[in-house]
Amino acid sequence: MKLLAIVLVLLCGSNVGSAAERDVAITENELVRRTQELYDAVVPGDQAPWKKYFADDSIFSDEKGRTMDKTKLIADITPLPAGYSGTIKLDRVESRIYDNVAILSYDAKETETIFSQNLRARYHITDTWLRRDGSWQIVASQAHRYYEDPATGKADLKKFPDFIGAYELVPGQTRTVIAEGDNLFVERKGKRDQLLPETSELFFRKGIEGRILFRYDKGGKVDALIDRRNNEDVVWRKVAGK
């Protein structure tokens, strides 16, 4: 009888343990709910959900290139200034959920209103949740912002003749700027991209991060095309044209 009692206790204990394991399992819907709770707390500067859902040893890397521990992250959650408001909503959610680890990958669509002026941005964020002691918390989060083209400005057609010509990086590596009607193009090895004006002398290519600008020499003539990438310049010297 004693042996049977021991077996029953072991079996019951095993069942209780399994039930407890099931109780602390997590679903994609629950991860989304918690994540939305975090973003809903941003505007009022409510730090409580961030303290609750981020582990003490978490790492948070944001779209500005900052990497913060939990202390710095929590300190960064403050109410928006007067006249500011906004929302952040999740979109395109994907998850991978295992016994003790869950990964939630999603787009965050932000709408910000600054004194009646509306701004929009999109981010992609991946959160890694870890279950410890029956509790799920984020141990790592990384975000990046989607590139968006700037607003198109107005081109100064009178300046197009200054820009037209061939530009050389090194011998044998050239690109050509041409104009067709009201449009300006840069062409290299048969590939042509339209130069869309941000200002009269500053251009961008659709879907390509960076800027194209033209440099004038002391005599007032264009002597170089500058391909500016992340605030660093690749200079192409003008070798043909006006």
Cα(218)–Cα(234) distance, rounded to whole angstroms?
20
Residue 240: the pLDDT is 81
Please give the residue that has the higher pLDDT: either 121 or 7.
121
Kindly report, as residue ranges, where domains of CATH 2.40.128.50 are found in the chain: 157-240
Helices (H), the chain: 2-23, 28-40, 48-53, 70-76, 160-163
Q: Flag whether pLDDT at 16 surpasses 50.
A: no
The answer to whether domain 18-145 has CATH 3.40.50.2300 is no
Pick the CATH number of 157-240 from 2.40.128.50, 3.40.50.1860, 2.60.120.260, 3.40.47.10: 2.40.128.50
Kindly report, as residue ranges, where domains of CATH 3.10.450.50 are found in the chain: 18-145
Query: If you average pLDDT over residues 99-120, what whole number do you get?
Result: 95
Helices (H), 102-168: 160-163
For 20, counting Cβ atoms within 10 Å of its Cβ (0-12 exposed, 13-18 middle, 19+ buried), the class is exposed
Q: What's the pLDDT tens digit per position in 24-68?
A: 689 999 999 999 999 999 999 999 999 999 999 999 999 989 999
